[in-house]
Amino acid sequence: MEILSKQVHKFFGQDERRIKEHYPGITEKRLIEELESFLVAKCRDIFVYKDDTRCIEGSGYIQEFFSKLNDGVPLAYITGKSHFYNLEFVITPDVLIPRFETEILVEQALKELQKIIITDTKIRVADIGTGSGAIALSILQASAKSLSVVATDISEKALKVAKKNYFMLEFSIDPKSTFEIVQTDKLRNVEGKFHLIVSNPPYIRAIEDRPFVHKNVIKFEPAVALFIEDAKYDDWFRELLFQVYNSLYAEGIFIMEGHEFHLDDLLELANEIGFTGSVLKDLTNRKRFLRLVKTKNEEVVDG
Ligand SMILES: C[S@@+](CC[C@H](N)C(=O)[O-])C[C@H]1O[C@@H](n2cnc3c(N)ncnc32)[C@H](O)[C@@H]1O
């Protein structure tokens, strides 16, 4: 491990400014940990890889690691994993890397679940745009109540990652809970009503908001997870809110992560549809989430 520390120290010394530009806030200590975990994953089974000199000598994979760092590849895509809500998730370039602030959405969802009292059926939860499954699986894992969770995504490749994560975490989830994956647009054709719907949808306007996005996010993370065309933005969210409204039971709750510049407009739209609700802030006091309640037992038609 001494060798790894020395190599990371050397790499850092060569161009610290550029490394910190690619990886804001990164430390040498963190890089050593990530390199160790990368090597362990690559060379987990030394017997399988006994002919792989990159494993035996270590050096080939170390060079691969540094070369990816030079290109600015996000650490989660290099190591193939990321931590979210105290759980480890498999991550590939087909899914968004789960963000720390999204844990607030999970916390809020768990608070809402505590308040729901039903006895005749399981609490039904939907996660729209599940990606790696980070939100849905964290809720399933941490909930004190048995749940029936439906996770949707438009991306087939993302859903494969969500499925893998479910298999990895299944043992830590209440066996009475269920997890279903559906490939669809938002909640289209998903049957039945839900007590709670959560979502971290793509919410960046492709042109207007692009200057505020880190260049490596644009370069490496899936566009479908990030952007909505500016001209389609309002219609996209209008459709989402209508689908959600009609899929909630009366008194059902919708919690959504969104863009700080657009949440007030979305709240206005939600009020027009029939929701009551508010914008919630994150730990840095930035507008970050919508919490909406469907107060009436009705269905509405977009028109
Ligand atoms: C911001 S990512 C969130 C991923 C994950 N829930 C998280 O919080 O880390 C948005 C996700 O929505 C999915 N998505 C984009 N358009 C969609 C649509 N029309 N219907 C369903 N999912 C969609 C993307 O594939 C992506 O996985």
Predicted structure pTM score: 0.94
* Ligand 1 pocket, residue 168 CB under 6 Å: no
- Identify the residue whose C-alpha is closest to ligand 1 atom 2: 225
Give yes or no for a contact between 279 and 263, defined as CB atoms under 8 angstroms apart. yes
Question: From ligand 1's centre to the CA of 177, what distance in Å?
Answer: 23
Same domain for 275 and 232, yes or no, is: yes
pLDDT score recorded for residue 47: 54
Closest CA to 39 of 20, 19, 16, 56: 56
Same domain for 41 and 153, yes or no, is: no
* Ligand 1 pocket, residue 134 CB under 6 Å: yes
pLDDT score recorded for residue 14: 85
* Ligand 1 pocket, residue 259 CB under 6 Å: no
Same domain for 264 and 157, yes or no, is: yes
Q: To test ligand 1's pocket by mutation, which of 87, 101, 150, 155 has the most ligand atoms within 8 angstroms of CB?
A: 155
* Ligand 1 pocket, residue 7 CB under 6 Å: no
**80 lies in some domain:** no
How many domains does the chain contain in total? 2
| Domain-ending residue, one of 28, 51, 72 | 72
pLDDT score recorded for residue 7: 86
- In the block, tokens 């749940």 appear at 147
Same domain for 108 and 11, yes or no, is: no
Tens-digit pLDDT profile for the chain (303 aa)? Answer: 677 888 889 888 888 888 888 998 899 999 999 988 888 888 776 555 556 676 666 568 888 999 999 999 999 999 999 999 999 999 999 999 999 999 999 999 999 999 998 877 899 999 999 999 999 999 999 999 999 999 999 999 999 999 999 999 999 999 999 999 999 999 999 999 999 999 999 999 999 999 999 999 999 999 999 999 999 999 999 999 999 999 999 999 999 999 999 999 999 999 999 999 999 999 899 999 999 999 888 788 876
pLDDT score recorded for residue 42: 82
Atom of ligand 1 nearest to the CA of 201: 10
Q: Are strands 178-183 and 147-153 parallel, antiparallel or unpaired?
A: parallel
Same domain for 66 and 111, yes or no, is: no
- The CATH number of residue 269's host domain is 3.40.50.150
Residue 33, domain extent? 2-72
